């Protein structure tokens, strides 16, 4: 009998060692130590949980390691034993992340080794951006992605709600935005836009029209779902470029030129009416969203109209502005003052550096990292989302259908280091974090959008959360493959997609 028990203990020990060798967590935790024994994932579901929220206890467990306040808020220690799990955290947020760790362990392994994990994030902003203007997915899709983000301990969802091909959020003071420009005859973006000129919109209710928008109730539902998962939703209201749809609904917001000027996208910063529009829209957006930040866009304004528009020229003269870049900067600074008056801070794409950066603006560095480095030098906060690493509309495989021509495979995404050597230790706090951007010119269907997101978002999550020295490509590749399999079982489309998936819509 004793022999049988010993043999059983040996077999169980081997299983545990195997489970330990396959700790599949993404993002990798700061400290992991295996303890004796293991527990089946089924048992984990009913395990007794003891939670202690106490900063003092957590600090004792950290043994003198100095964390920033925002790190302490997310930090946790969990002890998984055969009889139960103990969680210590300084805040509910840490408890939430401990539970995500347990959820991931139970999902990835049939047998989980008893262990102690001590963990906290490296960067405070770990984000995903979704472009809902070019193609519209809607509330259920967004919530499904928020669920995956939470599992990955990501905490910012940048909601790109308005752009040339469609306005996607209810604004009561300007109802034509959604009635006239949230719908179009063609579903696929490239069938609608030809040679950089947008196509027609059609009125809400037109039979066969493609489009949609979020009502205020939809936004409230999404926010409540996100809040429960400790994710801040940051809305983006684009200005002054990328406003083809706004001008279709309210042509008086374009420059005082025939047809609103040659450039089809820009608002006129010469007119007071434009500021009245933006302020009224933002007031409603501030009421809907509780985020600390509002993203004001700022990218790719061509500014040619402004050089010849009498209103823009008059504004430049009155304000002593020497260039159209300074005119853009005037507009962004003015919108920043308005945001401050309402307790908000602004984020803008890196073009907001042109003509002088607004005093408190956070820069989203997308052309590369140089703009971000310049902003850090000027004492501004930065979020890195460089095209060559984090643009998720770029393809993962040269044969992939409907994607932008650059190759951004998983390993490339994983290789990005946000705290480059040229950022001094004293300036490192200005690097808020990282974000993957899914632009959807080419991405019409929900399954396609997910295939572009995953598994690359797993890599961004690990870069945002895990300590740099914990990153290890071969090990991550193995873990990403394990998580991809589980995500597919949960109904996510993960690249490479299941070969049985219909390939309709492929180029
Ligand atoms: C951008 O890709 N235009 C921010
Ligand atoms: Zn103008």
Residue 340 has pLDDT above 50, yes or no: yes
Residue 89 has pLDDT above 70, yes or no: yes
- Identify any residues that bridge with 169 across adjacent strands, giving them in sequence order: 214
Residue 500 has pLDDT above 70, yes or no: no
User: CA angle at residue 278 from 272 to 284, to 5 degrees?
Assistant: 140
Quick one: which of 194, 167, 160 has its CA closest to 183? Answer: 167
Q: The sheet that has 31-40: what strands, in order across it? A: 31-40, 111-119, 76-81, 84-89, 49-53
Q: How far is the CA of 439 from the centre of ligand 1 (A)?
A: 8
503 falls within a domain? no
Residue 47 belongs to a domain with what CATH number? 3.30.379.10
Residue 241 belongs to a domain with what CATH number? 3.20.20.80
Query: 199 and 319 share a domain?
Result: yes
228 is catalytic: no
11 falls within a domain? no
**Tokens representing residue 90 in the block:** 């300084």
Per-residue DSSP letter, 29: P
13 falls within a domain? no
Q: Does the model's pTM come out above 0.85?
A: yes
Query: 214 and 70 share a domain?
Result: no
Query: 87 and 216 share a domain?
Result: no
For residue 503, the model assigns a pLDDT of 44
Query: 91 and 140 share a domain?
Result: no
**Tokens representing residue 93 in the block:** 């947020």
Residue 159 has pLDDT above 80, yes or no: yes
C-alpha 480 chain-centroid distance: 19
Q: How many CA atoms lie within 13 A of 40 on its CB side?
A: 2
Please state the rounded mean pLDDT for residues 78-101.
97
Please state the rounded mean pLDDT for residues 145-156.
98
Query: 135 and 115 share a domain?
Result: no
Per-residue DSSP letter, 439: -
For residue 161, the model assigns a pLDDT of 98
Residue nearest to atom 2 of ligand 1 (CA): 366
Query: 63 and 198 share a domain?
Result: no
Beta strand 404-407 pairing with 183-184? unpaired
For residue 399, the model assigns a pLDDT of 76
Higher pLDDT, 4 or 330: 330
For residue 319, the model assigns a pLDDT of 98
- Identify any residues that bridge with 89 across adjacent strands, giving them in sequence order: 53, 76
Burial 111-138 (b: 16+ CB within 10 A, else e): bbbbbbbbbbbbbbbbbbbbbbbbbbbe
The answer to whether residues 175 and 149 touch, using CB atoms and an 8 Å cutoff, is no
Q: How far is the CA of 426 from the centre of ligand 1 (A)?
A: 29
The answer to whether residues 455 and 494 touch, using CB atoms and an 8 Å cutoff, is yes
How many domains does the chain contain in total?
2
Q: How far is the CA of 9 from the centre of ligand 1 (A)?
A: 58
Options 163, 236, 266, 462, the catalytic residue = 163
For residue 15, the model assigns a pLDDT of 53
Q: Which ligand is nearest to the CA of 269?
A: 2
Interatomic CA distance for residues 126 and 154, integer angstroms: 5
Q: Measured between alpha carbons, how far is residue 414 from residues 31, 436, 473, 475 in Å?
A: 20, 11, 7, 12
31 is catalytic: no
Cβ count within 10 A of residue 54 = 13
Q: Which ligand is nearest to the CA of 392?
A: 1
The residues, any chain, with a CB within 8 Å of residue 262's CB and separated by 6 or more, are 304, 305
What digits encode the pLDDT tens for the residues 253-310? Answer: 999 999 999 999 999 999 999 999 999 999 999 999 999 999 999 999 999 999 999 9
Domain around 484: 125-489
300 is catalytic: yes
152 falls within a domain? yes
Residue 402 has pLDDT above 90, yes or no: no
What digits encode the pLDDT tens for the residues 432-470? Answer: 999 999 999 999 999 999 999 999 999 999 999 999 999
pLDDT confidence bin for 400, thresholds 50/70/90: confident
264 falls within a domain? yes
What digits encode the pLDDT tens for the residues 115-150? Answer: 999 999 999 999 999 999 999 999 999 999 999 999
């Amino acid at each position: 009998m004793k022999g049988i028990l010993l043999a059983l203990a040996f077999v169980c020990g081997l299983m545990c060692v195997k489970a330990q060798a396959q700790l599949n967590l993404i993002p990798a935790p700061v400290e992991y130590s295996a303890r004796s024994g293991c527990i089946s994932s089924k048992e984990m579901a009913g395990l007794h949980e003891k939670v202690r929220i106490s900063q003092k206890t957590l600090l004792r467990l950290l043994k003198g390691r100095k964390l920033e306040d925002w790190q302490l808020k997310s930090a946790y220690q969990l002890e998984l034993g055969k009889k139960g799990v103990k969680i210590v955290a300084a805040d509910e947020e840490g408890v939430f992340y401990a539970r995500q760790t347990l959820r991931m362990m139970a999902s990835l392994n049939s047998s989980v080794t008893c262990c102690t994990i001590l963990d906290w994030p490296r960067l405070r902003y770990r984000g995903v951006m979704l472009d809902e203007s070019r193609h519209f997915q809607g509330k259920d899709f967004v919530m499904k992605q928020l669920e995956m983000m939470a599992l990955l301990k990501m905490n910012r969802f940048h909601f790109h709600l308005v752009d040339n091909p469609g306005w996607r959020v209810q604004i009561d003071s300007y109802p034509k935005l959604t009635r006239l420009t949230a719908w179009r005859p063609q579903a696929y973006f490239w069938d609608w836009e030809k040679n950089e000129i947008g196509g027609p919109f059609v009125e809400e209710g037109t039979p066969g029209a493609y489009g949609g928008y979020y009502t205020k109730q939809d936004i409230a539902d999404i926010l409540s779902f996100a809040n429960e998962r400790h994710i801040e939703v940051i809305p983006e209201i684009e200005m002054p470029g990328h406003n083809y749809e706004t001008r279709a609904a309210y042509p008086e917001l374009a420059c005082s030129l025939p047809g609103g000027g040659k450039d089809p996208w820009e608002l006129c910063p010469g007119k007071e009416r434009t500021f009245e529009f933006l302020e009224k829209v933002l007031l409603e957006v501030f009421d809907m969203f509780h985020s600390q930040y509002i993203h004001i866009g700022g990218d790719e304004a061509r500014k040619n109209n402004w050089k010849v528009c009498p209103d823009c020229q008059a504004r430049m003269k009155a304000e002593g502005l020497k260039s159209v870049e300074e005119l853009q900067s005037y507009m962004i600074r003015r919108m920043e003052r308005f945001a401050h008056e309402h307790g908000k801070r602004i984020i803008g794409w890196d073009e907001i550096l042109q003509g002088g950066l607004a005093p408190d603006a956070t820069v989203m560095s997308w052309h590369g990292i140089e703009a971000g480095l310049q902003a850090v030098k000027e004492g501004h906060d930065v979020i890195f989302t460089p095209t060559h690493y984090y643009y998720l509309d770029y393809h993962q495989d040269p044969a992939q259908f409907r994607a932008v021509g650059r190759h951004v495979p998983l390993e490339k995404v994983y290789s990005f280091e946000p705290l480059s050597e040229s950022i001094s230790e004293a300036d490192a706090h200005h690097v808020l974090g990282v974000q993957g951007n899914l632009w959807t010119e080419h991405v019409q269907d929900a399954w396609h959008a997910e295939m572009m997101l995953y598994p690359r978002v797993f890599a961004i999550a690990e870069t945002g959360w895990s300590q740099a020295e914990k990153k290890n490509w071969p090990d991550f590749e193995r873990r990403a493959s394990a998580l991809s399999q589980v995500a597919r079982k949960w109904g996510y489309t993960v690249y490479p997609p299941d070969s049985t998936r219909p390939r309709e819509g492929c180029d």
